[in-house]
Structure 1
Amino acid sequence: MKYVAMIYGNQAKWDAFPAEEWPAAIAAQEAFNTRYRETGELIGAYGLADAAAAQLVRRAQGVPVVTDGPYLETKEYVASFYLLDCESLERAQRIAADMPFADVEPVELWPILHESPADEPSAGA
């Protein structure tokens, strides 16, 4: 089953993180990514820009209407997300708990109930 694991953050948290600790934190994250990519359980890991870079896109009378985001007013936002493919919920939980920052920040884990992969042809093709 596939899962999305999400880590939340905000710019104040990143600014408060000591600059000299970033190289070790990034190395620990890359080691995590490599370990689970090699098992085939990590499909992808994605870090997002600060919430100030988010945009909302709507359609009005057939034309895109773009405004600054994010959609929700919140102090926290999704900072990164990981796509996992695991044999069980328990395995996904173990992987989420193994994330480098899981000892100080919770990891939100969501089962994926529907999938439409971009690399598969549509039924009408």
Structure 2
Amino acid sequence: MKYLLMIYGNQEKWDAFPAEEWPEAVAKQDAFNTRYRESGELLGAYGLGDVVTAKLVRRENGVAAVTDGPYIETKEYLASFYLLDVASEERAYEIAADIPFADADPVELWPILHEAPQP
């Protein structure tokens, strides 16, 4: 079963995190990624750029129309996501709870209902 785990954040939260604690936080995250990649349960872990770097893309007259955005009305935005392939929903819960920041902020867990076939 595949699941998407999502973590939300905001610039205010990142700015408030003490600079001297970042190396330890990154090491914990790297250890998490390594542990679950080696078990075969973590298919990918991705950190996203700051919201000010995001763009909106639409199709107009058959070509891409790119604008700044999104213009988020909430303080929180998607900061990172993980793709899991696990044996059960309970196992997905265990892994989500093991994310280093899960003790400070919730992790969203979404089942993946459909996957495009691979050639």
Does TM-score exceed 0.5, indicating one fold?
yes
Unpaired stretches in structure 1, ≥5 consecutive residues = none
The alignment status of 1:4 with 2:12, answered yes or no, reads no
DSSP-derived class of the 2:92 partner: helix
Gaps of 5+ in 2: none
SS of 1:113's equivalent? coil
Q: Give 1:13's aligned amino acid.
A: K
Aligned residues: CA RMSD = 1.0
Alignment match, 2:60: 60
Identical aligned pairs, as a percentage? 75
Counterpart residue number, 1:27: 27
* Cα separation, 2, equivalents of 1:71 and 1:107: 23
Counterpart of 2:13? 13
Q: Deviations along 1:37-81, whole A, 9 cap, x unmatched?
A: 011000000000011111000011112111111154221111000
Give the Cα separation in 1 of the matches to 2:99 and 2:64: 38
TM-score by length of 1: 0.92
- Secondary structure of the corresponding residue to residue 57 of structure 1: strand
The AA in structure 2 aligned to 1:16 is A
TM-score by length of 2: 0.96
Moved over 6 A (4+): none
In structure 1, the residue matched to 2:79 is 79
Amino acid at match of 1:108: E
Q: 1:113, 1:63 → 2: CA distance? A: 30
